[in-house]
Chains A and B, each alone.
Chain A
Amino acid sequence: MSTAEPARPRSYLEEGFGLRSWLTTHDHKRIGVLYGLGITFFFFLGGLAAALIRWELVTPAGDLLSAETYNKAFTFHGVVMVWFFLIPSIPATLGNFLLPLMIGARDVAFPRLNLFSWYLYMLGGLFTLACLLLGGVDTGWTFYTPFSTMFSNSHVLMAVVGVFIVGFSSIFTGLNFIVTVHTMRAPGMTWMRLPLFVWAMYAVALVMILATPVLAMTLALIGLERLFGVGIFDPALGGDPVLFQHFFWFYSHPAVYIMILPAMGLVSELITNGARRRIFGYKFMVYAIVGIAVVGFLVWGHHMFVAGQSMYASIVFSILSFIIAVPSAIKVFNWTATLYKGDIGFDAPMLYALGFVGLFMLGGLTGLFLAAAALDVNLTDTYFVVAHFHYIMVGGAVMAYLGGIHYWWPKITGRLYSEAWARFAAILMFFGFNLTFFPQYILGYEGMPRRYHEYLPQYQVWNVLSSAGATILGVAYLLPLVYLAWSLRHGARAGPNPWDATGLEWQTSSPPPPHNFEQVPQVTEGPYAYRR
């Protein structure tokens, strides 16, 4: 027989094999993979710091680390997890990989800028590592003045430069996504046919380019203040130390939406596929995403109820914070309703997604306690806050990210992983997570302040439980590293659409060819065209 089976098109992975072909690539898919590698590295580095923090806290006395080292460990943990993991994780890896595929484009709008963003990310990371090697920084990831500007003797400048640089990577990624979504959608891909993940990426890109410059400016002011003592934050020179907090949270509150909006978009994809059912209330989901992105800019003052801000300002920030909880509630209800009359399978991505909904709910509802100024007084700056943001950021964003990695792994690599191990890891993670962070709510309510290297003996029981949970959680995070790596060699071939999913990215081969589609796809209906 001379008619061979039609040759599988050459994939983006086979475009070139040398290091050079990767480091000079303009292919959004390869850049997504590059980000994935960098981000994984930083995740485990930040995780190591978390382990040190938690093991130190097994006993009330500060006996494992010195006070100095402890302070540097939680600062490093925070800086790395926020700027080198949470903010870039979903947008820069899955976003980069999937956004053009999902809208039927050949690439992002500015492929060179995309590669440049990755170099900026790595450069910022190098500065942060250099800072660590020089001796670290002890200000906390929040860099509050006047401690950071006038009193800390550690390497504040170096740390700030690292974060400053990585901020630009974030801005360029945002810019790229906005232009891509506006100009490169396939014929028929109208706004109301965009997958929710694309909507989330679009909203997040807007937040990135609007908020990140404020961070850059604020960090530059810290630099100026440390080098030249200009006096912006120094009360003796007429400055205001609390001004920094306004600037900082004006960025950093929207930043938590940079972390969670992509996760929301992603989980919508996982749930609708896991239930083989159209997402419930697509339009409401879109409005909720946009609403969260907009109102997210107006609530920064809820970080400062006890910081000396006026009583009335606090009331305004409090009501706005309650209002932003509404769209978040809508999303939870819609995900739940999507399960109704579904055809639900429990593969690993779905387990991660269901875990996300549960943890996100517990994190979000405890946010109401912090939004109520009268309750926040007692809870702020305690472990209650640590628990709250880990529920949102680790329970939420990390679970979603891992769910997404599992869901699109066959698309990215062309291989299937061990489903049994993946389910086991997801369940272990959920268990370890709750054991780690739920006790912290109780600790916080009972008054244990955060950033404590020593604590009073009455808090020990909950701390021991939390540290035990953290150890389990650490193991659960290592598992995917092993079985995913294993699948690269030994996993079965995936085929274009192993999940029986809708969406343009599943219509091309796995892994996709360099330019994504053999011919430009035509879109004729909305997303999630499942039968039910």
Chain B
Amino acid sequence: MMLPQASSLAPNVDHLFDTLLALCALVVIGVFTVMIVFCVKYRRGTDAIRTPAHRHMGVELTWTLVPFFLFMGIFGWSVHLWIKLRTPPKDAQPVYVVAKQWMWKVQHPGGQREIDQLHVPVGQPIRLVMTSQDVIHSFYVPAFRVKQDVLPDRYTQLWFTATRAGTYDLFCAEFCGTDHSRMRGRVVAMAPAAYARWLHAHQGTGLAAQGADLFRQLGCSGCHDPRSGVHAPHLYDLYGRTVPLADGSQVLADERYLHDSILLPKKQVAAGYAPIMPSFEGRIGEEDVLALVAYLKTRTHAAEDTDEHR
């Protein structure tokens, strides 16, 4: 059985793997051959010439330096690839993943939800934004050569571009309790047209729209609405901005910051505001937080203006 190469970087990973494998095979064959030859030629009782040892600084330096430079070569190649693996393209489309003992819950920006399955279009870079509801899990798709641990109360991300339509195994790779080995799923890569049909057939309320509802239901708007009497930030144009904090430092308002501000509001208090916001930890699940974050990302003055003039 050969592992399929189904993502854009899988061939690059395999190329490096094969090169290193060939290099190692060469070393192994070389050393084993030499060992066997010595063992046969100098076995006790043969009359091979056995003059005493002499100095061998040159030999030692050679076999120290040659491996060193080879290793550095492989290291350089690996780093180059590693940076690619870790840097999602700008146009990567986000999909949200929540892991919990023992299932994968997936939400698409359009509101489509699935469990233990992930549908993606071929040819489009996908960026998974992942978090866990309980312990550490790890999202692993061998056919794509990607894996990333999924941590509680924190977002980690992973990206890939599927290159071949098909169904691929998805595993949890970090031991997470009793049914760890059953925390499996599949990734379905589809041609763009088929994917569009799939999206349409499974349409739900958009994630941001769900977030907007939650924003009202949970009472967030009670403080954060510009018309509210409470002194709280109004949260327009927040995503991607640099926020000054009460302790004098600054933080980039990325997904992690938004997430933490909802669940752990005392952790990073924005400058100029009293730390009065209640924590939503334990009151709402990670999926709700994702919806809220998705909504906050749409909350720009520009979007609000068009809403009002419609």
Contacts and interface: CB of A to CB of B under 8 A. Distances in A.
B63 A339 contact: no
B43 A322 contact: no
A426 to B, nearest CB: 14
A241 interface: yes
A147 B177 contact: yes
**A contact residues, range:** 35 or more
Given A446-B1, A452-B181, A339 B35 contact: yes
Given A146-B136, A361-B28, A446-B1, A277 B149 contact: no
B38 A342 contact: yes
Contacts of B179: 67
Nearest to A244: B136
Interface string A327-350: 001101110110111111110000
Main secondary structure of the interface of B (DSSP, over half): mixed
A368 interface: yes
Contact of A381 (B20, B67, B72, B173): B173
A326 B67 contact: yes
A62 interface: yes
Interface in A270-323: 275-278, 280-281, 284, 306-308, 311, 314-315, 318-319, 322-323
A434 interface: no
Interface string B66-98: 011001101100110111011000000000000
B35 A377 contact: no
B173 A373 contact: no
Interface string A381-408: 1100000000000000000000000000
Interface stretch (A90-98, A454-462, A489-497): A454-462
B38 A339 contact: yes
Given A152-B177, A238-B267, A315-B82, A447 B3 contact: yes
A146 B135 contact: yes
Interface stretch (B47-55, B113-121, B241-249): B47-55
B217 interface: no
A428 to B, nearest CB: 19
A284 B60 contact: yes
Given A242-B151, A452-B181, A445 B3 contact: yes
B273 interface: no
B16 interface: yes
B44 interface: yes
Contacts of A339: 35, 38-39, 42
A349 B149 CA distance: 44
B86 A311 contact: yes
Interface string B249-283: 00000000000000110010000000000000110
Contacts of A346: 39, 43
Interface string A443-475: 001110111111110100000000000000000
A483 interface: no
Contacts of B72: 322
Interface string B136-163: 1010101101111101111010000000
Nearest to B49: A341
B68 A326 contact: yes
A365 interface: yes
Interface residues of B, number: 79
B180 A319 contact: no
B304 interface: no
A235 interface: yes
A378 B13 contact: yes
Contacts of A277: 53
A236 B60 CA distance: 55
A330 B60 CA distance: 8
Nearest to A62: B181
A455 B181 contact: yes
Contacts of A116: none
A444 to B, nearest CB: 10
A326 B71 contact: yes
A45 interface: no
A281 B56 contact: yes
B146 A368 contact: no
B145 A306 contact: no
Contacts of B24: 365-366, 368
A372 interface: yes
Contact of B153 (A236, A342, A371): A236
A151 B177 contact: yes
A450 B172 CA distance: 10
A499 to B, nearest CB: 12
A276 B42 CA distance: 11
Interface of A: 62, 67-68, 71, 138-140, 144, 146-147, 150-152, 235-236, 238, 241-242, 275-278, 280-281, 284, 306-308, 311, 314-315, 318-319, 322-323, 325-326, 329-330, 332-334, 336-337, 339-346, 354, 357-358, 361-362, 365-366, 368-369, 371-375, 377-378, 380-382, 445-447, 449-456, 458, 531-532
Q: What are the 5 tightest A-B residue pairs by CB atom distance, in nearest-first order?
A: A447-B142, A235-B153, A372-B78, A452-B181, A339-B38
Given A147-B135, A452-B181, 6 more contacts: A71-B180, A146-B135, A284-B64, A326-B67, A375-B17, A381-B138
14 contacts: A67-B182, A144-B174, A281-B56, A308-B149, A325-B71, A330-B64, A333-B63, A339-B35, A339-B42, A340-B38, A343-B50, A381-B173, A531-B52, A532-B50
